[in-house]
Structure 1
Amino acid sequence: MSTLRFDNIDKERLTPLMRQYVEEKESRSDCLIFMRLGDFYEVFFDDAVLLARELELKLTGRDCGLDERAPMCGVPHHAVDKYLNRLLERGYKIAICEQVEDPAEAKGLVAREVVRVLTPGTQLDPDSLDANKYSIICAVLEEDAAYGIAACDLSSGHFETSDLLGEQAEAHLFDEIERFAPVEFVVSEKFIHNNKFKDYCTRKQITVTTLTDASFSSKKAVEFGIKYDEKDLLWHRCSAGLISYLQDTQGMVPTHFGEIKPYRFRDYMILDRSARINLELTETLRDRKRRGSLLWAVDHCKTAMGSRNLRQWLEQPLLNISQIEVRQDAVAFLKDNFMIRRSLSDALYGLYDMERLSGRIASFNVSPRDLISLRETLGRLPEFHKLMEGIETDALQAIARDIHTLPELQDKLSRALLDEAPIQIMDGGLIRDGYDQERDELAKIALHGQEYILHLEAEEREKTGIKNLKVGYNRVAGYYIEVLKSQSDKVPEHYRRRQTLTNSERYLTAELKDYEEKILTANQKLKSLEYEIFISLRETVAGYLEEIQTTARALAKLDALISLAEVAERHNYCRPRLTEESILKITQGRHPVVEQILAASDFVPNDIELNTDDQRIMILTGPNMSGKSTYMRQVALICILAQSGSFVPADSAVIGICDQIFTRVGASDDVSGGQSTFMVEMTEVATILTQATPRSLLILDEIGRGTSTADGLSIAWAVVEYLADATFIGARSMFATHFHELIELSKTQKGVFNAHVDVAKRGGEIVFLHQIKSGGTDQSYGIEVSRLAGVPVPVVDRAREIMAVLERTNKKDRRQIRKDAQPMDGQLGLFAQAQSVKLADEIIERVSDSDPNAMSPIEAYSLLLDLKQLVEKQERMRQEED
């Protein structure tokens, strides 16, 4: 294997081509250099070794002027895209180095230069992008504990930017990063050292590029036409840094972002990473599939544009009630008007992804098939105006106004382009007959050259009267007119003798010479002219970029609204009433996902009412598998749907605006972060207690189960007390627990109330009723659940024996925990389950080892005395600890 590497190459000894390659690599050291050599893209040295390994290609070598051959690996130019896509999926950046002069005209080495840089975040190939979500490249600028963030999808022109300030700035920054789920980062020199960021990129394996402070500057913002106020902090500079990077990689400043304006982070419901994962907004928790998520349940969109728009609404619910109601009005109209909804849905079906097309238009990277699809889509747009005529709903009127039919562009594309076209522009066969006269003439010559020669021959015979005149061709002489010497006296004066043969003369005419040039070069000229016409068409389309983008976004909104109306109609959703009051009242609410997976008749709906008075914190008890988690998630998802502008799965709902939904549901070890299950749980609890506000909704499931029973109960108790104190948080909360002692808090804490999931016992079997009832329960039915789960009978029986002993032991010692009792102190004395289990084990062992039939009365009395002493010892230990 070659030992040549970029860092040990004697550049002065390299051949000119190899020196050219190494110099390009030096200027783009973070990229793989794909250099065009004839019909192949070749890669050398370290890059070649890497390419061969990653794509399982053959590694060869090439003489490079050194003692060793340079490692070399290449791919055919016509198939390069599939190889590039595979590298981009793995996070590599690739610089495409093209020939920039005609090899036939080059004096010496052909000039080459990098014409574009491909990165995971600048991918434009539609076959390599997820059609249903944005492909985000994200920039972050840090300064004085404040952050600017900018995120864009280059393929669609989607651009968002904001400032994140205050004590929770970093936490909110990562909330936004989780929402964007970038495939690539561009960051400032300071932020690259953020440990949390480094851990995130390592875990996600995301490509990161660091830019200098000069790229993140107000001067750059002005250069790119970003309008901002002097009071603005970081968003405009962060946006400038992102555009600088795109300019560097694309070789041009993107023109399809429109006017860049910041969004207010606080205008939307905050959903952190834990909430997004646990509520399964866009993918399931277990297998990360779309099916089974909230998005899956409500997405009936007919276009990819609509699906992306709906996804953004769910990930960024609104706080402004007026904005929510505008969406609700549109959903209500579409729900109530089936025929209009169905007709609009049918019209949307099969529309081209105009939003992503805009990215290729802006980068001058559209294919003939793109423009044919655009032409067909434009031809269908007038139907939307016809269907939406007379609709008075504000949102739908605005959408109708934003749909630009562009008849002049549609007409031009119809006249210019064939119905079928090749993928590659240079393959020809693009342009219709009749669109361009010069092109038609070339096509006629190229396609009917021989017919033209026969026609010319017949025409010359008639003009000259020479009946045996022939038009011939050979590779040496080209085209000629041949006349027998006996007829040479009839040759017109404008014939020029070219060659004399034994019995004939060969002549040229100016017309024949012209057509010889045309015929011999017609095909190449035809392809070149069609390419020029296509480039002109592409530039014409680029002139309509703003209208195309506006239309695409309007259609995306329409599709999303129709989808929400469709799901509301199919599943009997109601229109929720939104209010600024901190209340939450849902009648017969249902889980939007579970009810679709189950048969509709199998799902049990439930009510909930939370307010700021006597029902602010629900303590929810009940068995495992009874539906506590589903019920709590259901409430959270209904709030998200409501604030996204959707109807909700319930008979009725009044939703007090939630500024943030926190979830503490389940836990697992964070191996990459070096955190245990319990540490993950406590970190999430800490986040909730420090960031929640009175307008938040808290979903807390089994706080404290990751440690000992005593520790866990003490922590859970203290958390509820903290939440119940309105001077701390006072947020609406649902708190599911198996610590039945927490039921007592309803007697001492204002706003705390109890509820439980009902269970019935039938013939010794438990039946989960999935109904939420008022009041608490001290029955968890854990042993019955373990039996249902298939735990072996001996284990279940043994568990029942231990439970019986524990219940007898603890009944004497149970007492109410007052707030001033400081449950964190002396916790082992209060909750001595561990000692009780040990005592039970010893008693059972002593009894099991004894045979009553073989014991004398004295021996039986002695055993009973021993057992009594064991129990008394346990009691003394308990009293000492108290």
Structure 2
Amino acid sequence: MRRQYLKIKGEHPDAILLFRMGDFYETFDDDAVLAAKELEITLTSRSMGKGLRVPLAGVPANSLDTYLARLIKKGHKVAICEQTSDPATSKGLVDREVVRVVTPGTVIESALLDQKTNNYLAAVSVGSVAEGRVGLAYVDITTGEFLATELALHELPLELERIEAAEVLVPESDDPPPWAGHGNNGAGPNYELTPVEPRIFHPDEARQALLSHYGILTLESFGCEGKDLAVAAAGAIVEYLARTQKAAKLKLANLSIYATGSFMALDSQTRRNLELFAAGRNESKELSLLAALDRTKTPMGGRLLRQWLGQPLLDLTELEQRLDAVDHFYLDGLKRTAAISSLGKVADLERIAGRIVSGTVAPRELIALKDGLAAAPGLRELLDGPNLEWLQGQLLPLSDVCSLIEESIAPDPVGAVGDGNVIRPGFSTEMDELKNASSNARQFIAGLEQRERERTSIKGLKVGYNQVFGYYIEVTKSNIDKVPEDYIRRQTLTNAERYIIPELKEYESLVLNAR
């Protein structure tokens, strides 16, 4: 196991490696010393043979989110190494591999996120000094939102302040980027700066990364023509996500190219004076303008309101569209009350969709998705005012998705996939058979044991199970002469022999698959 650990750790030298061992994630060596300090957990040691003892510190697997949040908030990168083979069927060392590398900009766990704030991973690609231009791209992998732009170098700190990125990727260099030394008001930036190899910012490589991710032949539909710096930044993000998310499948929205001139730029001093997001010397969020205005009923609405406050529109047509929608509900109290009631039943559909794609969704969230989508037709009917066709058209009913969830997911599923009671009985014949096999294992074993005792006249015959050899029929050596020809020897003990028969082998496969 030590060799396996060192190999995996060598692939992630800059991350704290959480190494799955049964019901715990363990850390070793320097990682253990650091984890014990940062998480305030016990530092102990473990024997690795030949007189070698190494530092060890672990956390329960069912409390991962709690400890992960603390490490990420302190600026650490964390590699999560899972057991990828079943210990019950593995002969020898359990297979393990890193399935995700969690960084400030790649967090997907609900417990680590602010519901009403986006969590952006950004990348900056700098052009020549003479041009004085940079490319900026940013993504929220929990919602799929993916944008890119090109702007003047001196505008970059202001734009990074506006999007409030959690992490910014830059080409690796001996010197930190000059623009990263301070914010627009001279204060230090709030984001984590992550140097990566310059190669992934090369326009050709970045373009190919985007083409491969979207499965397309050209970026023409994204409006990227002549924007090599924006493409370089966006491609670097896609490449970085492929490395850090590994087993997770990410579905990003189509890359959207935007211009900073389409909205009013507010520097940090202006934001502070207007108390948009924090107020007073203590920077209280509760006393800010956002807190005073925010009566949104969904996390998605909260994030959108925050964006709107931070980037006021300059385009008159867009402003008129927005005001038409406000007027519609302001002037009709009944519709406003109905909309508030309907939206109160809608969960964070954006982030639930993201967790479905990444394979981390909880069963209860699927029910929340169904309930949220079910509210769409009613909300659509409330948008019957003039000039609201554009908004009405965005509320698609998706009744087929609702029906599929209703038919397939149990009405009150448990906390995690694999714990049982997730798939609705009757939806899948195969699943029902597997459930029955797993829940009726004790009865099957007792019945088989009794039947084989009667068939062989061996009163001491017993059916058992261990993790190495699986299910077996055990016969003492004094009764070996009574063993039928269809018994296949599986293991020899001092005083007994263990056998398998085709029926038991088939049942073993069924039960293990059910687990």
Which residue pairs with 2:457 in the alignment? 499
In 1, the alpha carbon distance for the partners of 2:360 and 2:198 equals 31
Q: State whether residues 254 and 363 of structure 1, in contact with CA within 8 Å, keep that contact through their aligned partners in structure 2.
A: yes
1:398-417 matched pairs, under 5 angstroms: 398-417=390-409
How many pairs does the alignment contain? 465
Q: State whether residues 91 and 205 of structure 1, in contact with CA within 8 Å, keep that contact through their aligned partners in structure 2.
A: no
Which residue pairs with 1:160 in the alignment? 147
Q: Is 1:391 aligned to 2:377, yes or no?
A: no
Which residue pairs with 1:173 in the alignment? 156
3-state SS of paired residue (1:224): helix
Which residue pairs with 2:169 in the alignment? 186
3-state SS of paired residue (2:257): coil
Using the TM superposition, give the Cα deviation of residue 117 of structure 1 relative to its aligned residue in structure 2, in angstroms.
Answer: 0.4
In 1, the alpha carbon distance for the partners of 2:123 and 2:208 equals 18
Which letter maps to 1:186?
A: L
Describe the shift of the 1:445–1:194 C-alpha distance in structure 2 as closer, same or farther (beyond 3 A): closer
Describe the shift of the 1:48–1:350 C-alpha distance in structure 2 as closer, same or farther (beyond 3 A): same
Describe the shift of the 1:162–1:86 C-alpha distance in structure 2 as closer, same or farther (beyond 3 A): same
Which letter maps to 2:133?
A: A
Unaligned runs of 5+ in 1: 1-16, 454-471, 484-496, 529-882
TM-score, length basis structure 1 = 0.49
Which residue pairs with 2:135 in the alignment? 148
In 1, the alpha carbon distance for the partners of 2:241 and 2:458 equals 66
In 2, the alpha carbon distance for the partners of 1:55 and 1:501 equals 56
Which residue pairs with 2:354 in the alignment? 359
Give the counterpart of 1:371 among 356, 366, 382: 366
Give the counterpart of 1:344 among 324, 339, 342: 339
Describe the shift of the 1:113–1:442 C-alpha distance in structure 2 as closer, same or farther (beyond 3 A): closer
3-state SS of paired residue (1:22): helix
In 1, the alpha carbon distance for the partners of 2:255 and 2:107 equals 21
Give the counterpart of 1:113 among 93, 97, 105: 97
Q: Is 1:433 aligned to 2:406, yes or no?
A: no
1:691-770 matched pairs, under 5 angstroms: none
Which residue pairs with 2:449 in the alignment? 478
In 2, the alpha carbon distance for the partners of 1:400 and 1:42 equals 51
Which letter maps to 1:434?
A: G
Listed one character per residue, the Cα deviations across residues 643-665 of structure 1 (whole Å, up to 9, x for unaligned) are xxxxxxxxxxxxxxxxxxxxxxx
Which residue pairs with 2:207 in the alignment? 221
In 2, the alpha carbon distance for the partners of 1:386 and 1:123 equals 36
Which residue pairs with 1:550 in the alignment? none
Q: State whether residues 124 and 137 of structure 2, in contact with CA within 8 Å, keep that contact through their aligned partners in structure 1.
A: yes
Using the TM superposition, give the Cα deviation of residue 291 of structure 1 relative to its aligned residue in structure 2, in angstroms.
Answer: 2.1
Which residue pairs with 1:314 in the alignment? 309
Q: State whether residues 367 and 425 of structure 1, in contact with CA within 8 Å, keep that contact through their aligned partners in structure 2.
A: yes
Q: State whether residues 147 and 163 of structure 1, in contact with CA within 8 Å, keep that contact through their aligned partners in structure 2.
A: yes
Which letter maps to 2:108?
A: L
Using the TM superposition, give the Cα deviation of residue 428 of structure 1 relative to its aligned residue in structure 2, in angstroms.
Answer: 1.2
In 1, the alpha carbon distance for the partners of 2:310 and 2:242 equals 29
Q: Is 1:49 aligned to 2:22, yes or no?
A: no
Q: Is 1:299 aligned to 2:294, yes or no?
A: yes
3-state SS of paired residue (1:402): coil
Q: State whether residues 65 and 112 of structure 2, in contact with CA within 8 Å, keep that contact through their aligned partners in structure 1.
A: no
Give the counterpart of 1:131 among 91, 94, 115: 115
Describe the shift of the 1:67–1:337 C-alpha distance in structure 2 as closer, same or farther (beyond 3 A): same
Q: Is 1:212 aligned to 2:197, yes or no?
A: yes
Unaligned runs of 5+ in 2: 212-218, 461-481, 487-500
1:609-620 matched pairs, under 5 angstroms: none
In 1, the alpha carbon distance for the partners of 2:255 and 2:327 equals 32
3-state SS of paired residue (2:279): coil
Q: State whether residues 142 and 191 of structure 1, in contact with CA within 8 Å, keep that contact through their aligned partners in structure 2.
A: no
Describe the shift of the 1:380–1:519 C-alpha distance in structure 2 as closer, same or farther (beyond 3 A): farther
Using the TM superposition, give the Cα deviation of residue 481 of structure 1 relative to its aligned residue in structure 2, in angstroms.
Answer: 7.5
Describe the shift of the 1:367–1:107 C-alpha distance in structure 2 as closer, same or farther (beyond 3 A): same
Give the counterpart of 2:376 among 367, 373, 381: 381
3-state SS of paired residue (1:245): helix
Which letter maps to 1:20?
A: Q
Describe the shift of the 1:143–1:436 C-alpha distance in structure 2 as closer, same or farther (beyond 3 A): same
Which residue pairs with 2:494 in the alignment? none
Listed one character per residue, the Cα deviations across residues 301-343 of structure 1 (whole Å, up to 9, x for unaligned) are 1111001101101111111112111111111122111111211
Using the TM superposition, give the Cα deviation of residue 500 of structure 1 relative to its aligned residue in structure 2, in angstroms.
Answer: 6.0
Which residue pairs with 2:280 in the alignment? 285
In 2, the alpha carbon distance for the partners of 1:523 and 1:289 equals 56
Which letter maps to 2:170?
A: V
Listed one character per residue, the Cα deviations across residues 95-132 of structure 1 (whole Å, up to 9, x for unaligned) are 11223334466565433222210111111111221111
Q: State whether residues 246 and 252 of structure 1, in contact with CA within 8 Å, keep that contact through their aligned partners in structure 2.
A: no
Give the counterpart of 2:234 among 221, 239, 251: 239
3-state SS of paired residue (1:42): strand
Which residue pairs with 1:639 in the alignment? none
Q: State whether residues 164 and 191 of structure 2, in contact with CA within 8 Å, keep that contact through their aligned partners in structure 1.
A: no
Describe the shift of the 1:501–1:302 C-alpha distance in structure 2 as closer, same or farther (beyond 3 A): closer
Q: State whether residues 100 and 247 of structure 2, in contact with CA within 8 Å, keep that contact through their aligned partners in structure 1.
A: no
Structure (1 or 2) with the greater helix fraction: 1
Describe the shift of the 1:247–1:525 C-alpha distance in structure 2 as closer, same or farther (beyond 3 A): closer
Which residue pairs with 2:245 in the alignment? 250
In 2, the alpha carbon distance for the partners of 1:306 and 1:344 equals 13
Using the TM superposition, give the Cα deviation of residue 280 of structure 1 relative to its aligned residue in structure 2, in angstroms.
Answer: 0.8
Using the TM superposition, give the Cα deviation of residue 438 of structure 1 relative to its aligned residue in structure 2, in angstroms.
Answer: 2.6
Q: State whether residues 210 and 234 of structure 2, in contact with CA within 8 Å, keep that contact through their aligned partners in structure 1.
A: no
Listed one character per residue, the Cα deviations across residues 630-685 of structure 1 (whole Å, up to 9, x for unaligned) are xxxxxxxxxxxxxxxxxxxxxxxxxxxxxxxxxxxxxxxxxxxxxxxxxxxxxxxx
Q: State whether residues 136 and 184 of structure 1, in contact with CA within 8 Å, keep that contact through their aligned partners in structure 2.
A: yes
Describe the shift of the 1:64–1:441 C-alpha distance in structure 2 as closer, same or farther (beyond 3 A): closer
Which letter maps to 1:187?
A: V
3-state SS of paired residue (2:199): coil
TM-score, length basis structure 2 = 0.82
Which residue pairs with 1:718 in the alignment? none
In 2, the alpha carbon distance for the partners of 1:257 and 1:359 equals 9
In 2, the alpha carbon distance for the partners of 1:207 and 1:249 equals 16
Q: State whether residues 267 and 319 of structure 1, in contact with CA within 8 Å, keep that contact through their aligned partners in structure 2.
A: yes
Which letter maps to 1:384?
A: L
Using the TM superposition, give the Cα deviation of residue 217 of structure 1 relative to its aligned residue in structure 2, in angstroms.
Answer: 2.3
Using the TM superposition, give the Cα deviation of residue 67 of structure 1 relative to its aligned residue in structure 2, in angstroms.
Answer: 5.6
Using the TM superposition, give the Cα deviation of residue 216 of structure 1 relative to its aligned residue in structure 2, in angstroms.
Answer: 1.0
3-state SS of paired residue (2:122): strand
Using the TM superposition, give the Cα deviation of residue 35 of structure 1 relative to its aligned residue in structure 2, in angstroms.
Answer: 1.1
Using the TM superposition, give the Cα deviation of residue 300 of structure 1 relative to its aligned residue in structure 2, in angstroms.
Answer: 1.4
3-state SS of paired residue (1:432): coil
Listed one character per residue, the Cα deviations across residues 160-189 of structure 1 (whole Å, up to 9, x for unaligned) are 211112xxx32x111111111222121123
Describe the shift of the 1:103–1:158 C-alpha distance in structure 2 as closer, same or farther (beyond 3 A): same
In 1, the alpha carbon distance for the partners of 2:374 and 2:342 equals 11
In 1, the alpha carbon distance for the partners of 2:15 and 2:148 equals 27
In 2, the alpha carbon distance for the partners of 1:36 and 1:83 equals 14
Listed one character per residue, the Cα deviations across residues 266-323 of structure 1 (whole Å, up to 9, x for unaligned) are 1111101111112111111322222221212222111110011011011111111121
State the Cα RMSD in Å. 3.1
Percent sequence identity is 32
Q: State whether residues 446 and 519 of structure 1, in contact with CA within 8 Å, keep that contact through their aligned partners in structure 2.
A: no
- Structure number with greater Rg is 1
Which residue pairs with 2:324 in the alignment? 329
Describe the shift of the 1:362–1:439 C-alpha distance in structure 2 as closer, same or farther (beyond 3 A): closer
1:260-271 matched pairs, under 5 angstroms: 260-271=255-266
Listed one character per residue, the Cα deviations across residues 577-636 of structure 1 (whole Å, up to 9, x for unaligned) are xxxxxxxxxxxxxxxxxxxxxxxxxxxxxxxxxxxxxxxxxxxxxxxxxxxxxxxxxxxx
